[in-house]
Amino acid sequence: MRFTVLSLFPELIEQGFNSSITGRAAEKGILSLRCINIRDYASDAYGHVDDYPYGGGAGMVMQAPPIYRAYEAARGENPRPRLIYLTPQGRVFNQALAQELAREEELYFLCGHYEGVDERVLEEIATDRISIGDYVLTGGELPALVLMDAISRMVPGVLGNEDSSRGESFMDGLLEHPHYTRPEVFMGRPVPEILRSGHHANIERYRREESLRRTLEIRPDLLEKAELNQADLSFLEKLQKA
Ligand code: SAM
């Protein structure tokens, strides 16, 4: 997977991406990151990339020409790269979208700042508009990192153990079960007995039930779309009656 990010703060992206799992995958050549500083394509020697909004109002707007020049320089031979504009007005990001985007070979991200970006350049180059949630941040860099991280985990070879993403929250429509590791007792709280029993079928059932219990308590809305078998439904019914 090749990521290209158009941003006014490329160092923020590079620092976040090159740490931990995504950084290691980049070293192995499974992922690559290219950051383009939009300011390098400014119209004047002062590096101006924003201006007052037509029609008045608070704040500044990122100008179309520097962004378009940065895009043109980055896209090379690719006539229409898939370019995601990060915006609170976009489709809300989730695991299913991460899985879909992970199937691409190359993705571009455009990070906005100030009041946002001149609409005309978005019409020209953005193929997708994606939000990371119903709140407003100062810039698109953190959202771009959020997307790249979630997408990267779905790219084969990025997680050491291919099983690691299986069973995780949202992968099967449910929240994941709780996790425990040593010590066996922490502040008087022992690890659930069943997890030390070595009985794989019972452990699997226990985890499934804990996953159902959590989802019912915290995100009952997810249960409407989750794939549930008869045993799951009976367990949920028992919980609801209790
Ligand atoms: N004026 C815009 C509005 O009301 O929709 C908000 C602009 S915001 C202050 C500046 C930039 O941060 C946006 O252009 C976008 O790139 C990014 N941003 C802020 N919140 C975001 C969110 N929830 N998801 C994705 N990007 C976001």
Note whether 213 and 237 are same-domain residues. Answer: yes
Same domain, 149 and 207: no
Average the pLDDT over 131-143 and give the result.
98
If 0-12 CB within 10 Å is exposed, 13-18 middle and 19+ buried, where does residue 226 land?
middle
Report pLDDT for 163: 59
CA distance linking residue 9 with residue 79, whole number of Å: 25
pLDDT in tens, 138-156: 999 999 999 999 999 999 9
Do 184 and 109 share a domain, yes or no? no
Please tell me whether residues 212 and 99 are part of one structural domain. Answer: no
Q: Which residues contact 31 (CB under 8 A, 6 or more apart)?
A: 1, 2, 3, 22, 25, 152, 155, 158
Q: What does the CA dihedral 225, 230, 235, 239 come to, rounded to 10 degrees?
A: 60
Pull the structure tokens for residue 232: 């799951």
Report the number of distinct structural domains present in the chain. 2
Per-residue model confidence (pLDDT) at position 162:
63
43 shares its domain with 119: yes
Bond from prior residue into 190 cis (ω within 30 degrees of 0) = no
Residues 24 and 130 in one domain: yes
One domain, residues 29 and 58: yes
| The two structure tokens encoding residue 111 | 């990070």
Tokens of 55: 């029609």
% of the chain at pLDDT higher than 70: 99
Q: What is the pLDDT of residue 169?
A: 83
Q: How far is CA 117 from the centre of its chain?
A: 21
Inform me whether the pLDDT recorded for 103 exceeds 80.
Answer: yes
- 148 with 17: CB under 8 angstroms? yes
166 or 147, higher pLDDT? 147
Cα 224 versus chain centre, distance: 23
Statement to judge: residues 171 and 51 lie in one domain:
no
Boundary residue ending a domain (160, 191, 225): 160
Note the pLDDT of residue 52: 97
pTM of the model: 0.94
Average pLDDT over residues 211-221: 98
Spatial separation of the C-alpha atoms in residues 124 and 118, rounded to whole Å: 11
Backbone dihedral angles phi then psi of residue 185, each to the nearest 5 degrees? -125, 130
- Quote the pLDDT of residue 167: 78
pLDDT at residue 136 is higher than 90 = yes
Please state, in angstroms and rounded to a whole number, the distance separating the CA atoms of residues 135 and 151. Answer: 21
Instruction: Give the residue whose CA is nearest to atom 27 of ligand 1.
Output: 87
Is there a single domain that holds both residue 92 and residue 143?
Answer: yes
Tell me which of 101, 136, 160 is where a domain ends.
160
Same domain, 46 and 93: yes
Q: Are residues 62 and 179 in the same domain?
A: no
Q: What is the CATH number of the domain that holds 108?
A: 3.40.1280.10
Q: State what percent of residues in the chain have pLDDT above 90.
A: 94
Q: What is the pLDDT of residues 186-210, one digit of tens each?
A: 999 999 999 999 999 999 999 999 9
Domain of 199 in residue numbering reads as 167-241
Tell me if residue 140 falls in helix, strand or coil: coil
Domain boundary, last residue among 144, 160, 176: 160
Mean per-residue pLDDT over the chain, rounded:
96
Average pLDDT over residues 90-97: 97
Give distance in angstroms: CA of 92 to centre of ligand 1: 12
Condensed to tens digits (0 to 9), the pLDDT of residues 6-42 reads 999 999 999 999 999 999 999 999 999 999 999 999 9
- How do strand 189-190 and strand 185-186 relate by DSSP bridges? antiparallel
109 and 176 both lie in a single domain: no
Expressed in angstroms and rounded, the spacing between residue 202 Cα and the centre of ligand 1 is: 46
Please give all residues whose beta carbon lies within 6 A of any atom in ligand 1, as ranges: 86-89, 111-113, 115-117, 131-133, 135-140, 143
pLDDT digits (tens, 9 = 90+) for 49-90: 999 999 999 999 999 999 999 999 999 999 999 999 999 999
Name the residue with the closest Cα to ligand 1, atom 19.
Answer: 137
Using CA atoms, how far apart are residues 125 and 132, in angstroms rounded to an integer? 20
Q: How far apart are CA 169 and CA 165, in angstroms?
A: 9
134-139 mean pLDDT: 98
Is it the case that residue 160 has pLDDT exceeding 90? no
DSSP H or E segment with residue 192: none
Pick the residue whose CA is nearest to atom 26 on ligand 1.
87
Supply the pLDDT for residue 131: 98
CATH of the domain at 209: 1.10.1270.20
